[in-house]
Structure 1
Amino acid sequence: MPKIQYKEIRFQKKSLDLIELVNQVVDEYSAQGYELTLRQVYYQLVARGYIPNNERSYKNVGSLINDGRLAGLIDWHSVTDRTRNLRKESHWDNPADVIASARYSYNLDKWKGQPNYVEVWVEKDALVDIVGQACSPLDTPYFSCRGYTSQSEMWSAAQRFIRQEQKESSSIWATMTQAVLI
């Protein structure tokens, strides 16, 4: 975990105490396998009663984390940004590596043939990874509304639900047909 000092910054004791609390929160969640965003760290500090819940506190925590990183007091990997990512094409050295990579993508649909279709939606994007860790082992799709759901995503969801309902109806019809034939 890199704590690299790029800048000499003199912090007040109050700021140093808050940096220590930030590190404690991040370490606690990291030990459980979670990476926190700035917003998640902020809400943890609010929920624990360390800071008030207002825009000024949020901005102060963001600035403090930035300065804490530059001063080498906060690990550069400790707070993640899930909304700004480098995108690039995948590359392999040989065909065997492509096949080995595909092995990790292969999954059977655990929901195929189930009587109900389930999706989990969460309002706050800050919680999507926590929800995802619960949903992934169950092969349950999950989605972050990011405060509100766009019209485009609502339409896409409606189309998924319609497709699932059609599958259910045809499955029920096939079962009824089999029952009649027996």
Structure 2
Amino acid sequence: MPKIEYKSIKFQQKSLELIRLVNQVVEEYQAQGYELTLRQAYYQLVARGYIPNNERSYKNIGNLINDGRLAGLIDWYSITDRTRNLRSNSHWDNPADVIASARYSYLLNKWDGQPNYVEVWVEKDALVDIVGQACRPLDTPYFSCRGYTSQSEMWSAAQRFISQDYLKVLDESECGQLWWGSLSDRRKDIIRAIPNFDSDIFFQCTGVRVDE
């Protein structure tokens, strides 16, 4: 793992201690097979009581990690950026390599024939990789809401649920109405705002009366 000094920087003792804590957190998660983003590392420092939770603190830790990398004190591979990635075509030396690569992509649907359809949604994008490591072995789709789910994604999710007959399973129970009653007004409004939403059709599929 490269720690490369590109710039000589004199840090205060407090900053050196914080750099040590950053490295400690990163190494703990690397040992478990996780790569942390800047925001994930920040939240870990906040959760452990090392720094306050506010926008200024987040900017300060970002600047400190940048300087720590330039000074050769923090590994360049220790923090990952999942939102800005180079995209390119895949290449193989010969057709045999293509076939060898494809065999690892061949997966049977473990949920085929199961009575329930399952998705895992997580609010913060900073947690999606951690959730993904648990979901992938179970062949369970997962999704990051990134704070507020877009109307487009809510509509797409509804189409997935309908195609899996997931909504119809709730017809024979009170689960749907209990779920609807537990939603905030904002989340109810998001569902009502789905294009061509029809409360009668929604009731036929789910047993949920949106006006209750």
TM-score over 0.5 for the pair: yes
Output one character per residue of 1:11-31: Cα deviation in whole Å (capped at 9) or x when no partner.
Answer: 000000000000000000000
Aligned to 1:45: 45
Aligned to 1:70: 70
Runs of at least 4 residues off by over 2 Å = none
Q: In 2, Cα distance between the equivalents of 1:109 and 1:152?
A: 26
Output one character per residue of 1:27-71: Cα deviation in whole Å (capped at 9) or x when no partner.
Answer: 000000000000000000000000000111000000000000000
RCO higher in structure (CA 8 A, sep ≥6): 1
Q: What secondary structure, in the 3-state scheme, does the structure 1 residue paired with 2:121 have? A: strand
Q: In 1, Cα distance between the equivalents of 2:93 and 2:106?
A: 21
Letter in 1 for 2:36: L
Question: How far apart are residue 151 of structure 1 and its match?
Answer: 1.0
Aligned to 1:102: 102
Identity %: 86
Q: What secondary structure, in the 3-state scheme, does the structure 2 residue paired with 1:79 have? A: coil
Question: How far apart are residue 148 of structure 1 and its match?
Answer: 1.0
Query: What residue ranges of structure 1 are gaps of 5+ in the alignment?
Result: 170-182
Q: In 1, Cα distance between the equivalents of 2:147 and 2:105?
A: 30
Q: In 1, Cα distance between the equivalents of 2:82 and 2:104?
A: 22
Q: In 1, Cα distance between the equivalents of 2:104 and 2:57?
A: 42
Aligned to 2:93: 93
Counterpart mapping for 1:91-130 below 5 A: 91-130=91-130
Output one character per residue of 1:71-128: Cα deviation in whole Å (capped at 9) or x when no partner.
Answer: 0000000000000000001111110000001011010000000000000000000000
Q: What secondary structure, in the 3-state scheme, does the structure 2 residue paired with 1:51 have? A: coil
Aligned to 1:16: 16
Q: In 2, Cα distance between the equivalents of 1:3 and 1:161?
A: 47
Query: What residue ranges of structure 2 are gaps of 5+ in the alignment?
Result: 170-212
Q: In 2, Cα distance between the equivalents of 1:93 and 1:147?
A: 43
